[in-house]
Homo-oligomer: A and B are copies of this chain.
Amino acid sequence: MRELFQPSSEQFNLSTILGALGDPIRLRMVKFLAENGENNCSSFDIDLQKSALSHHFKVLRESGLINVRIEGKQRFLSIRTVELESRFPGLLDAIIKNI
């Protein structure tokens, strides 16, 4: 499987990040990760095909919002809390508190 691109925090772009969250499904995904911490892709209770879920994970990942850790045949997703906080102080907190 190919490398999964993840931007460095200097590459983060605010409107890209807001755009990624400007979708109810992706906002739900982030809310779930904020509440439950790192989880694999199958843990999300969202009624979409796996390829559509994968698409949304990709948008979140490429925006810089989530990290993907590969372990065996699973991918564990988590919010890039530290990098987001250092690049956009206070932003993620303000969003998560208001989801």
Contacts and interface: CB of A to CB of B under 8 A. Distances in A.
A16 B18 CA distance: 10
Contacts of A27: 14-15, 18
Nearest to A17: B22
Is chain A's interface secondary structure helix, strand, loop, or mixed overall?
helix
B24 A15 contact: yes
Interface stretch (A36-44, A50-58, A88-96): A88-96
A14 B88 CA distance: 18
A22 B19 contact: yes
Interface in A45-99: 88-91, 93-95, 97-99
A93 B98 CA distance: 13
5 contacts: A15-B23, A18-B95, A90-B90, A94-B94, A94-B95
